[in-house]
Amino acid sequence: MRRSALAVAAVALLLGAVIGIAALASSTTTPSEPRTVNAASSSPSVTGCRYRSRATSVRHGPSGRKRIALTFDDGPSGFTSRMLDVLEAERVPATFFVVGRNVAGREALLERMLADGHMIGNHSFNHVNLAKADRAALKQIDDTQAAIESATGFTPCLIRPPFGLASRELLRALSARRLTSTLWSVNPQDFRTPGSATIRRRVLAGAKPGAIILDHDGGGDRRQTLAAIPSIIRTLKSRGYAFVTVPELLGLSVKR
């Protein structure tokens, strides 16, 4: 999210209430054990993840277990490789919502995400407001799916509408594309570079079972986020949390 999102943030919240944005009900599937990152024994053989047929937008997962999903938006960028190194060192999976225009030339980063056990979601092609769900917006979605598919062979089942802006029309269009709109429950506003200590404090204050945490690996200088993440992970682990991808948090199985 960028600064230009500020004016629309309140609208997004109101809109969310109006269109009934809600978390998925507690998962009825049997959740698998949280996966740890193991680049050595995995390969980018995942081809997609399953859609759950609901025209809703998810803000968090079921709260019954101490599981948390880290998410990173606006990449891939020059900071993504270091973020992947941090996650690999901490052995936790995350979910990357990528901007389609950033994929060309950084295909290897997307392949590494999947090989490392992370998941990839759609974040539009040019980081634009999709809420109108007009032809241009749908092209943003489809072009990004195509960019990710062509780079990796993986078809995302998640999309994060830029600025958190959705609409009934957009959710219908996403439903038709078997994409689940994925927002967040914790936003430390790392994109405003408030300092790594502040990012850490905000994330830890908001962390709850089922939380989806919004961070950024692109869209600007992400050194503060990079500095904050290891301590966030270690603290939450010490509090008994396991880290999972968003599909895992929501009980959406992965296709291989």
To Zn ion, the closest distance from the beta carbon of 43 in angstroms equals 29
To Zn ion, the closest distance from the beta carbon of 213 in angstroms equals 14
Q: Is 127 in the active site?
A: no
How far is it, in rounded angstroms, from Cα 192 to Cα 57? 25
Nearer residue to Zn ion within complex by CB, 1 or 83: 1
Nearer residue to Zn ion within complex by CB, 74 or 215: 74
Give the distance, in angstroms, between the CA of residue 249 and the centroid of all CA atoms in the same chain: 11
Q: Provide the binding-site residues for Zn ion, judged by CB under 5 A.
A: 1, 73-74, 162
Catalytic residue among 60, 118, 123, 216: 216
To Zn ion, the closest distance from the beta carbon of 2 in angstroms equals 7
Nearer residue to Zn ion within complex by CB, 59 or 67: 59
Nearer residue to Zn ion within complex by CB, 1 or 15: 1
In the chain, DSSP assigns E strands to 48-49, 57-58, 67-73, 95-98, 119-122, 158-159, 180-182, 212-216, 242-243, 254-255
Q: Count the neighbouring beta carbons within 10 Å of the beta carbon of residue 239.
A: 11
Give the distance, in angstroms, between the CA of residue 209 and the centroid of all CA atoms in the same chain: 17
Catalytic residue among 73, 116, 190, 215: 73
To Zn ion, the closest distance from the beta carbon of 226 in angstroms equals 17
Q: Which residues are catalytic?
A: 73, 216
